[in-house]
Amino acid sequence: MTTAVTYEQRPWRSRIAPDALPKRERLLLAQPYDAAVTPPIADLDIRLSDDLVELLGEAQERIIRFDSEVGHVTAPFSSILLRSESASSSQIENLTSSAKAIAEAELDERDTGNAPLIVANVRALEAALAASDELSNTTIIAMQEQLLGTSAPEITGRYRDEQVWIGGGNFGPHEADFVPPHHDRVAAAMDDFIAYSVRPAPLPLAAIAVAHAQFETIHPFPDGNGRTGRALVQAALRRVGLTSGVTVPISAGILQQRDDYFAALTSYRQGDVEPIVSVFADGALLAIANGRTLVEEIETIRAAWQQALRDIRADSAAHRITALALEHPVMNSRLVREHLDASDRTVFNTLDTLVDRGILTVGSSRQRNRLWTAPPVLAALDGFAARSMRRG
């Protein structure tokens, strides 16, 4: 069996009036186009080189160790790493934003730019992890709906019902870099994808990489396929038992190999699975190294804050807010009030104490609401993102 796609000719029915098109495009769009046909992979057995099998073993072992070590730390690394994965996955699609802007968007204090889209990706990833044991067409569609339900609700709630294409012109698929399957093939292709994804595999990370490449080849949605596909990767890591406590931000490692990642998807469509498996194995190792640096920096920040509050009881509101600030480095009074379940007076007095001790700074949002920020945490998150952008 192979992962190589074949092609079939389909007639193109343009929605643009012929007299509104340049002559060249008018003649081109009158011709049929070639759409990919994905082979079934439900029973696919992949063969990998000995070196790649060894690399996969190392990557899987480090994923398990990272999950075990970091998942039992008191600091909220699960949510920190989940947000880092979401931001990195968005960066692969050229959706970038600062940690501060993303944190503000989580509070509904920023509604423009890329930050709200990245927050939506966090919600999609949360939905993926919540449904990690229930992979189905329904749960996959729900993930994409979490991603785009606010920004593009008209293309959520179902698989696509139109032809899509990657690259090339805007008028039609004839000169595209890749034309995914016709929409009438998507439902069957996704059933096959699910059958492969839930099948036990001797090298789970390799199977996850192959499933991801198949998903991106099917391209079941009009938009959001890349981010939804990488959310499915995290669900798969949880489902097969490689992770249980934290999100290993594999997208950060893929981001460091962005060109190789897209080239590997092309190789997969030509029948070669090794490049995408290699990108995932290397990506896991790169992501874990980057993630460990972030964990160490957050631990250092937490220790410094505990030292600054050493004369205050450990169960006080001040210590509880600093723990919250590790997870939410931008806070408004509403978030703090809900977390503490305390009066406004207690909330503002405690925030003033943390500002006086140099732990938080106070400013305002674009909506002119007061916000309290933890600059060292934001710097650590931006540092993680910057390291993820370094190629090679």
pLDDT above 80: residue 369: yes
Comparing CA positions, the residue from 363, 352, 357 lying closest to residue 329 is: 363
- For residues 359-376, give the mean pLDDT: 88
Residue 169: pLDDT over 90: no
Note the pLDDT of residue 75. Answer: 62
Which one, of 243, 180, 255, lies nearest residue 213 by Cα?
A: 180
So what's the pLDDT on residue 74?
59
Tell me: do 156 and 14 sit in the same domain: yes
187 and 334 inside one domain: no
In a domain, 307, yes or no: no
Which residues contribute to the annotated binding site?
223-230
**Gap between the Cα atoms of 323 and 162, Å rounded:** 47
Count other C-beta atoms under 10 Å from residue 223's C-beta: 18
Considering the domain architecture, whether residues 284 and 224 belong to the same structural domain is answered as yes
Q: What does the pLDDT look like over 296-353, one tens digit per residue?
A: 999 999 999 999 999 999 989 999 999 999 999 999 999 999 999 989 999 999 999 9
What's the CA gap between 328 and 119, in Å, rounded? Answer: 13
Residue 22: what pLDDT? 82
- pLDDT confidence tier of residue 367, bands split at 50, 70 and 90: low
- In this prediction, residue 15 has a pLDDT band, given cuts at 50, 70 and 90, of confident
Beta-sheet strands, E only, within the chain: 6-10, 33-37, 330-331, 361-364, 370-373
Looking at the structure of the chain, the number of domains it has is: 2
The answer on 321 and 212 residing in a single domain is no
Residue 376 maps to which CATH number?
A: 1.10.10.10
CB 242 within 8 A of CB 63: yes
User: Which pLDDT score, from 0 to 100, does residue 364 have?
Assistant: 81
* 280/326 same-domain check: no
Which residues touch 153 (CB under 8 Å, ≥6 apart)?
A: none
350, part of any domain = yes
Does residue 165 surpass a pLDDT of 70? yes
pTM of the model: 0.94
Instruction: Extract the annotated binding site for ATP.
Output: 223-230
Contacts of 383 (CB under 8 A, 6+ apart): 293, 294, 297
- Quote the tokens at residue 39: 């082979």
- 71 & 199 share domain: yes
Structure tokens that stand for 333 in this block? 């009074």
Sequence-distant (≥ 6) Cβ neighbours of residue 50 within 8 angstroms: none
Q: pLDDT tier at 48 (50, 70, 90 boundaries)?
A: very high
CA torsion sign for 268, 96, 109, 309 is positive
Higher-pLDDT residue of 190 and 26 is 190
170 and 48 both lie in a single domain: yes
- pLDDT tops 80 at residue 18: no
pLDDT in the model for residue 319: 96
Verify that 214 and 356 share a domain, yes or no.
Answer: no
Q: Are residues 175 and 105 in the same domain?
A: yes
pLDDT for 16: 79
Residues 373 and 241 in one domain: no
Q: What is the mean pLDDT of the chain?
A: 95
Share of the chain above pLDDT 70, in %: 98
Tokens coding 211: 């499933």
Query: The CATH number of the domain where 43 resides is what?
Result: 1.10.3290.10
Residue range 161-181: average pLDDT?
Answer: 94
Tens digit of pLDDT for each residue in 282-309? 999 999 999 999 999 999 999 999 999 9
pLDDT class of 20 with cuts at 50, 70, 90 = confident
Q: Is residue 257 located within the same domain as residue 319?
A: no
In the chain, helix, strand, coil percent, each to 5?
Answer: 60, 5, 35
Catalytic site residues?
219
The DSSP H or E segment spanning 171 is none
% of the chain at pLDDT higher than 90: 86
Q: Is the pLDDT assigned to residue 392 strictly greater than 70? A: no
Greater confidence (170 vs 241) lies with 241
Domain that holds residue 237: 6-293
Nearest residue to 224 (alpha-carbon basis) of 136, 164, 284: 164
CA distance 10 to 269: 19
State residue 111's pLDDT score: 84
Q: Are residues 225 and 354 in the same domain?
A: no
Q: What is the pLDDT of residues 80-94, one digit of tens each?
A: 999 999 999 999 999
In whole angstroms, what is the distance from residue 123 CA to residue 147 CA? 7
Quick: pLDDT tens for 93-146. Answer: 999 999 999 999 999 988 889 999 999 999 999 999 999 999 999 999 999 999
Is 77 a domain residue? Answer: yes
